[in-house]
Structure 1
Amino acid sequence: MVFDIPLVCTFIAIIACLYASYTDLKSGIIQNKLTFSLIGLGIVLNAVYAFMINDIWFIVTGVIFTAVIFALGYIFWKLGAWAGGDVKLFTALAALLPFYPLALSYNIWGAAFPIVSIYGFPITLIINSLLSILPFLLIYVLFIAIRRKPYLVDELLAPVKEYKKNIVLALVTTAAVSLTYVILPYLPYRTIVVSLVLIIVLSFIISKLPDMVKAVILFVFTVFALYTNIQVTVIGIVAIFLSITAIGIIRKLITSVNRKALQDDYEISDLKEGMIPAYNMYERADEVYVDDKGFFDKIKESLKNGDPTGITAPKGKLLISSMAAGLTEENITLLKKLFEENKIDPKIKIKRGVPFAPSILIGLLISLFIGDLAVILQKILYVILY
């Protein structure tokens, strides 16, 4: 019975995250009665467990971990990166599982799973949850696009329609790989990193050549690759082509489709507290303007103009922030005033809130059954590089 309490806490954590994911997806809310109850229950259960194993420091350390996670979450909340419900859910999970529960252990190719980190289970949970955001976000955006904004599907599939361009890129990469294969024996260092850098550089150079020169190079080195190993070359070209297409679709999901799928126009009069603006709003020289350019767009424009300051926030007084905390009553009053003064349009773009609880659930399951993804990636990179 002594060892059952961590297992009970594990089951409670999974069930709680399932319920939190449901309410977050349905209404965009992680209920306080859930998180506060979990915090209290976690502390009580772990206090009982500490008494049973006669280790008072177990509960003391657990409470400290819980407080640290809350403090960390509070900082993210103040920065506008997390919503209040997310902070409380992380805190509740830290109270329930301050240490690795090791509900399941197994070996793959001699490696023991789950992979444990040195900084504790609650931090592992946060890291895994953050790393789980992207795949969940892609699925969520795709769902929104198909169900509510079907016109975005055509934009999403644009990379598929650009198959001719992708074929050329695949052949350019193939030629770069073939050239690397020829050059590499003459280099003093023949590591994977050197090979990858060489492939990237050669791909860039070939892609910038005049069309006729490029065509000749592609023909010569593609034929060379086919002559060297026809099966590997054909499979490689197909794999590269599919990868380029997939990357294009993912890029669309992350950028333009993401923005359009997760933004809706609202009348100023219809705004409610907690709604998240799609962009920051600034005032400069008695004029109000919005900063609606994405980060990658800013980088691209800065590189084009040769002005790195374009990446930073625009100059001026910040009036409305697009952080996760959302609009306050004061913000809404200010927007109404600005509209009455004809300084802003009657509509403002509001971000559709992306539920974070499902990512926390995914992060929890990964943490319990696979381990710390950051540590796993570190080990993989070490094997590749050394």
Structure 2
Amino acid sequence: MDILSITYIINFLLLILASITDIKERIIPHKYTIAMFLINIVVGYYYFGFDAIIALFSTFILCLILSIGMGGGDVKIFTALAPIFAYPDSFVFYIPKYILYMIGISMFVAAIFPILKILMKYWKDIIPSALYLAMILGIIQYIVYLYKIPYVSVIVWAYIIISIYISRKVPKYKEYTKKLGFLLPVYMLIIYFIDPIYFIKHLLLSSIIYIGEISLISIVIYALTGVEISDKKSIDELKEGDILKDIIIIDKNNVEVKNLNIIKRIKFLIENEIKKSNKKIIATDGEGLSEEDIKLIKKLYNEGKLPKELNIIKTYPFVPFVVIGYTIVLVMIYLKI
């Protein structure tokens, strides 16, 4: 076993130790990232030369760009791992492709949990509406199939996205689409009797795919319009790293708390930046609350300017997802994928 292989094993063990601490305390100890950095920069330079240094800095810059959804500890881990993946001819815009795979896999796996949470909570709305929209899409696709009408699918998918958004805002429309969704089996039976060949070759599989795609789009739209998985948390229980769903606006002696969804938060922060307002804003990013933020929040609460509880976005320890991405990438390297 060569030095690089031993280094991969050492990094795996360090990631496991960091995962355990992340799960228990939601903290990534510096000792693990420092150890990874020192080992990897030496081994990476030995095997890949100056490319290891380039990989380190380019990965660090990429992770800073992605840091809206990535904590500081996660940035350090990906950066520390980069030098030992600086294989020749494996760079994409100066970033090792295996690091890109690792980041992508980790984020994908991390996204599964909130997706499942939203689906479990809202499936009675999402699934029937997805059946209705799959039926509409199937009908139009069948017409396109018969008459060879071009570019209709673009309009149809635009309608689907708009329909999902409207269903979030208009309860009566939501109920209307949910009820019509139960007509999907009837529609499929009609098509089967009219055109069994089309049903077998196209409709059956495409309907399943459409339902899955529309359900996923629905979950994303639900998240963007305000159903992030959040919990109420007492101000006394706040800790460093907690991510507020609320935005706290401090204007001299006036304090306002706004519970905004993702789109409205982004819009509010951009408008506030453009106006160059003198108001102090407490709005968390991937780093979460700082100790300074918590002290200020507790001070405002003691002055009677804040409610007892704030909305905290439910998060998950990220290092275990990195371990999954890291393991898959190592398998890809040794299988030469």
Q: TM-score, normalised by structure 1?
A: 0.63
Shift of the alpha carbon at 1:205?
A: 11
Conserved? CA contact 2:133–2:214, under 8 Å: no
- Please give the secondary structure, in 2, of the residue aligned with 1:319: strand
Conserved? CA contact 1:266–1:347, under 8 Å: yes
CA-to-aligned-CA distance 1:280-306 (integer Å, 9 cap, x gap)? 22234753223432235679xxxxxxx
Shift of the alpha carbon at 1:158?
A: 1.8
Question: Relative to structure 2, which stretch is displaced further, 233-242 or 276-285?
Answer: 233-242
Distance 1:183 1:121, change over 3 A: same
Question: Relative to structure 2, which stretch is displaced further, 29-38 or 15-24?
Answer: 15-24
Please tell me whether residue 170 in structure 1 is matched to residue 160 in structure 2. no
Shift of the alpha carbon at 1:238?
A: 4.7
Shift of the alpha carbon at 1:167?
A: 3.7
> Which of 139, 143, 147 is residue 183 of structure 1 equivalent to?
147
- What amino acid maps onto 2:50 in structure 1? V
Paired residues for 1:31-70 under 5 Å: 31-47=29-45, 49-50=46-47, 58-70=48-60
- Please give the secondary structure, in 1, of the residue aligned with 2:311: strand
Conserved? CA contact 2:247–2:259, under 8 Å: yes
> Which of 351, 354, 358 is residue 313 of structure 2 equivalent to?
351
Matched residue, 1:157: 123
Paired residues for 1:65-214 under 5 Å: 65-73=55-63, 81-99=69-87, 116-119=90-93, 122=96, 124-126=98-100, 128-130=102-104, 132-139=106-113, 142=116, 155-159=121-125, 163=128, 165-184=129-148, 194=151, 196-197=153-154, 199-200=156-157
Instruction: Give the distance between the partners of 1:226 and 1:232, measured in 2 at CA.
Output: 14
Please tell me whether residue 290 in structure 1 is matched to residue 257 in structure 2. yes
CA-to-aligned-CA distance 1:72-110 (integer Å, 9 cap, x gap)? 545655xx543222122112212333336xxxxxxxxxx
Distance 1:284 1:182, change over 3 A: farther
Conserved? CA contact 1:41–1:96, under 8 Å: no
Gaps of 5+ in 1: 51-57, 101-114, 146-151, 188-193, 300-308, 377-386
CA-to-aligned-CA distance 1:311-333 (integer Å, 9 cap, x gap)? 94557524312113232333223
Matched residue, 2:169: none
Distance 1:237 1:92, change over 3 A: closer
Conserved? CA contact 1:97–1:121, under 8 Å: no
- Please give the secondary structure, in 1, of the residue aligned with 2:82: helix
Matched residue, 1:278: 245
- Please give the secondary structure, in 2, of the residue aligned with 1:265: strand
Instruction: Give the distance between the partners of 1:204 and 1:323, measured in 2 at CA.
Output: 27
Conserved? CA contact 1:70–1:87, under 8 Å: yes
Distance 1:172 1:348, change over 3 A: same
Higher relative contact order structure (alpha carbons within 8 Å, sequence separation ≥ 6): 1
- Please give the secondary structure, in 2, of the residue aligned with 1:283: strand
Question: How many residues are treated as equivalent by the alignment?
Answer: 313
Instruction: Give the distance between the partners of 2:44 and 2:120, measured in 1 at CA.
Output: 53
Distance 1:272 1:200, change over 3 A: closer
Matched residue, 1:379: none
Paired residues for 1:334-345 under 5 Å: 334-345=296-307
Instruction: Give the distance between the partners of 2:300 and 2:225, measured in 1 at CA.
Output: 28
Instruction: Give the distance between the partners of 2:191 and 2:65, measured in 1 at CA.
Output: 57
Please tell me whether residue 330 in structure 1 is matched to residue 292 in structure 2. yes
- What amino acid maps onto 2:241 in structure 1? G
Cα RMSD of the aligned pairs, angstroms, is 4.4
Please tell me whether residue 239 in structure 1 is matched to residue 208 in structure 2. yes
CA-to-aligned-CA distance 1:104-141 (integer Å, 9 cap, x gap)? xxxxxxxxxxx955345646414641454243332367
- What amino acid maps onto 1:259 in structure 2? E
Shift of the alpha carbon at 1:44?
A: 2.8
- What amino acid maps onto 2:153 in structure 1? L
Question: Relative to structure 2, which stretch is displaced further, 236-245 or 174-183?
Answer: 236-245
Distance 1:254 1:124, change over 3 A: farther
Instruction: Give the distance between the partners of 2:33 and 2:161, measured in 1 at CA.
Output: 51
Question: Relative to structure 2, which stretch is displaced further, 240-249 or 351-360?
Answer: 240-249
Instruction: Give the distance between the partners of 2:163 and 2:69, measured in 1 at CA.
Output: 41
Shift of the alpha carbon at 1:224?
A: 5.8
Instruction: Give the distance between the partners of 1:271 and 1:9, measured in 2 at CA.
Output: 38
CA-to-aligned-CA distance 1:178-228 (integer Å, 9 cap, x gap)? 1111332x65xxxxxx363254368799999x99xx9xxx99998467523
Gaps of 5+ in 2: 167-175
Larger Rg: 1
- Please give the secondary structure, in 1, of the residue aligned with 2:228: helix
Instruction: Give the distance between the partners of 1:172 and 1:141, measured in 2 at CA.
Output: 25
